[in-house]
């Protein structure tokens, strides 16, 4: 038994930007995961004698100011960036989605309160949250995750609430209530599956934003700390040497751009796919 009817599945694969974005994102993710098991050179080993080499068969992307292999650094950095952004998305979604659903389900004072908290969090961009957290607990990748994650909460809450509100008035939710289902059961069986696509789209977009945010935080020293590395941290190191060797700044920068573009393409493609107008057309065709 399939979840989706067949025609939708074919369209899914036909969308070019979705296909390109999804494939590229997966490639970067794969590169990141490979770095757990294997990198060309260990990045903990400093070899100042081999610093700032140009790309060569031994070092495909050259070496940095400490003689570390840039390709290895990029692989490890990609993993860190993904992990930080993904955990931040998970924090945002796991807290934000239930909050949004609760706001939609209960309405009244509960909704008012959740919306105000939401507005409030919007007033603190991730960076300000990060500054506060860092001042208290000191800089680290974990704190960067938490800061970006907190900032993600209102985003997911809003998406979930919006989706749930538009579904709440639909009669099948009423029918489920008549069948004696409670709000949690209804959310699980009727609301979540139907807003899952919206949430996935948002998660893709927030993942891209998270990678950018991690880069910013690490760049100003509030995120990932050495000896671990991330794409943002590589840029921080590169700033000093950018005049001598611009490729130290270009390579991680372009990597960030490529990852973010790939994720955004996938997100945009997915959203086009799920655009209600397009879907309605598909639905009408299915019924005919």
List interacting residues with another protein (CB under 8 A).
1, 3, 5, 116, 119-120, 122-128, 131-132, 134-136, 170-172, 174-181, 189-190, 193-194, 208, 212, 215-216, 219-220, 232, 235, 238-239, 242-243, 246, 249, 253, 256-258, 260-261, 264-265, 277, 283-284, 286-288
Which CB, 8 or 66, lies closer to another protein?
8
Phi, psi of 220 (to 5 degrees): -90, 5
Phi and psi at 199, nearest 5°, equal -70, -40
Residues in CB range of 40: below 8 A, 6 or more apart: 59, 60, 69, 71, 72
Q: Is 73 or 208 the residue whose CB approaches another protein more closely?
A: 208
In whole angstroms, the minimum distance from the beta carbon of 60 to another protein comes to 21
* Closer residue to another protein in complex, CB, 32/267: 267
Shortest distance (Å) from residue 83 CB to another protein:
18
Judged by CB, which is closer to another protein: 42, or 174? 174
Q: CB-wise, 227 or 285, nearer to another protein?
A: 285
Min dist. Cβ of residue 53 to another protein (A): 20
CA distance 21 to 16: 8
Which token pair is 270?
């997915």
**Minimal distance, residue 57 CB to another protein, in Å:** 28
The least distance separating another protein from the CB of residue 156, rounded to whole angstroms, comes to 16
Find all residues with CB under 8 Å of 14, minimum gap 6, and list them: none
Task: Between 58 and 116, name the residue whose CB sits nearer to another protein.
Answer: 116
Q: How many Å apart are CA 153 and CA 91, to the nearest integer?
A: 7
């Amino acid at each position: 038994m399939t979840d989706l009817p067949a025609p939708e599945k074919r369209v899914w694969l036909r969308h070019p930007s979705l296909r390109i974005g999804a494939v590229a994102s997966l490639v970067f993710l794969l590169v990141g995961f490979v770095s757990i098991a294997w990198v060309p050179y260990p990045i903990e080993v400093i070899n100042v004698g081999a610093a700032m080499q140009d790309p060569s068969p031994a070092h495909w992307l050259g070496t940095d100011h400490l003689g570390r292999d840039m390709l290895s650094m990029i692989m490890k950095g990609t993993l860190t960036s993904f992990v930080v952004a993904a955990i931040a998305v998970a924090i945002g979604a796991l807290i934000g989605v239930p909050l949004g659903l609760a706001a939609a389900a209960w309405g009244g004072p509960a909704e008012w309160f959740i919306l105000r908290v939401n507005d409030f969090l919007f007033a603190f961009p991730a960076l300000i949250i990060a500054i506060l957290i860092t001042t208290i607990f000191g800089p680290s990748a974990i704190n960067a995750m938490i800061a970006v994650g907190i900032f993600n909460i209102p985003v997911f809450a809003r998406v979930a609430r919006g989706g749930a509100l538009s579904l709440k008035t639909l009669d099948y939710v009423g029918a489920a209530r008549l069948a004696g289902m409670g709000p949690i059961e209804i959310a699980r069986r009727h609301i979540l599956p139907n807003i899952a696509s919206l949430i996935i789209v948002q998660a893709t977009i927030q993942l891209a934003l998270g990678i950018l945010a991690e880069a910013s935080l690490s760049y100003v020293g509030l995120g990932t700390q050495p000896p671990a590395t991330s794409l943002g941290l590589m840029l921080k190191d590169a700033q000093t040497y950018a005049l001598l060797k611009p490729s130290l700044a270009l390579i991680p920068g372009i990597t960030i751009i490529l990852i973010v573009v790939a994720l955004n393409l996938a997100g945009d493609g997915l959203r086009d796919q799920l655009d209600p107008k397009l879907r309605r057309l598909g639905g009408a065709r299915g019924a005919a």
